[in-house]
Amino acid sequence: MLRAAGVGLGDEVVVPAFGNVEVAEAVATAGALPVFADIDPATYCLDPAAVEAAITPRTAAVVAVHRFGRLADIARLHAVGQRHGLLVLEQGESEAPYDEIAQRRERAAYLDTKLRGVRTPDDADGHTYQQYVVRVPGNGRPDRDAFARAVRAKGVGCRVPVKTPVHRLPEFRRCVSLPETERASDETLALPVDASLTKRDMQRIVSACNALGGLLQPAF
């Protein structure tokens, strides 16, 4: 799509650094330079204000990535694009069937009301919970990683959604200030909300997480 739009050598493309190294690789493959902008801390998608701040005379396009079942603020991103004459592209996620999304939402609602000591995700309208991503507060990655190890030891599968932001990878290393991206990389943890989980499974998740409250500073 970038090549079809004439984006190439000498152009810059604004992309998120929170996950999806494939997006930065696609920009580089087209001959352009990926420029990283910060994310909105609630949606984990590009922050339109950060995108606008990253625009230079060489900027040709923006690639918005929808994340964890939340949509990027496409209306505001298109408004930014119109003001600056930029192409705005979207990368979506593979959607689960509607009945599975409904079940994921049920499990997410249960976790929202039961979990303690972690910050649960923003349950804005339209969230499909492709991943149920919580924040483990405290002193950053050591607390999150210790929490994850302890939860796994209790038989609960969990995963760190983004271990290293793209702007910290050797091939795309940039000296750029992305505080929300860095914070999200250090604090986020994806807990299971698969449609196949039983009520007992959900209770086990809650029990395992809530038993670790003493490990953490209070959520805020």
Tens of pLDDT, residue by residue over 74-85, are 999 999 999 999
Question: In whole angstroms, what separates CA 210 from the centre of its chain?
Answer: 24
CA-based torsion, 137, 209, 123, 78: positive or negative: positive
* Residue ranges in the chain whose pLDDT is less than 70: 139-140, 213-220
pLDDT at 220: 40
Quote the CA–CA distance of 161 and 139 in Å, as a whole number: 18
Residue 122 has a pLDDT of: 87
pLDDT, residue 213, reads 62
CA distances 119 to 3, 27, 124, 157, Å, are: 40, 34, 15, 18
User: 13, 27 in Cβ contact below 8 A?
Assistant: yes
Q: What is the pLDDT of residue 212?
A: 84
What tokens were used for 206?
């809650």
What does the pLDDT read at residue 161?
96
Which residue has tokens 């420029």?
35
Model's pTM, two decimal places? 0.91
Q: Looking up tokens 């930014």, which residue turns up? A: 80
Q: How distant, in Å, are the alpha carbons of 13, 162, 218 from that of 65?
A: 13, 14, 31
What pLDDT is recorded for position 219? 43
pLDDT at 94: 77
How far apart (Å, rounded) are the C-alpha atoms in residues 199 and 197? 7
